[in-house]
Amino acid sequence: MEFEGVVRIKAPRQKVWDFLTDPNLVCQCAPALKSVEIIVPDKQFKAVAGIGFGSVQVVFVTEAEWLELNPPDHARMFAHGDAPGSCVDIKSDMYLSDGEDGITELKWIADVVVVGTIASLASRLMGGATKKLTGAFFDCVRSKIEA
């Protein structure tokens, strides 16, 4: 499944970049986050988070790696998460650009592949749940950066 969106944040591009590329900061907005651990600074981190699709609830242990960091314009990440009977692979890109009146425009694209029990049990619910979760995530990011 591919997801994408544009978020407008009233803050300088460097401030948005610094927040979004710091796992300790950005993970404050991750739903049901249990822990985050930096493995290699500015390169790799591990997060444990729960997610639910209807009655299907799972906890993913996810390792994420920055594949490309071009501050403060573009970043590319790959993440792989495992849960009992399921796994997820996520490839994502973010692009930052200057908008009008001090606004930074964040364009994001994510390609998500889920396999296993959660994919077969909750496939009908994933699109809507993912849209809801990403909306809440970016609302949180915006409010923390703009504060």
Crossing angle of helices 117-146 and 13-20, rounded to 10°: 140
According to CATH, the topology of domain 2-146 is Alpha-D-Glucose-1,6-Bisphosphate; Chain A, domain 4 (3.30.530)
3-state class of 6 per DSSP? strand
pLDDT tens string, the chain, 147 residues long: the values are 889 999 999 999 999 999 999 999 999 998 889 999 999 999 999 999 987 766 667 899 999 999 999 999 999 999 999 999 889 999 999 999 999 999 999 999 999 888 888 776 656 666 666 778 888 999 999 999 999
Q: Phi, psi (5° rounding) for residue 128?
A: -65, -45
Check: CB of residue 136 under 8 Å from CB of residue 31.
yes
Delimit the domains of the chain by residue range: 2-146
Torsion sign across C-alpha atoms 134, 137, 142, 145 = negative
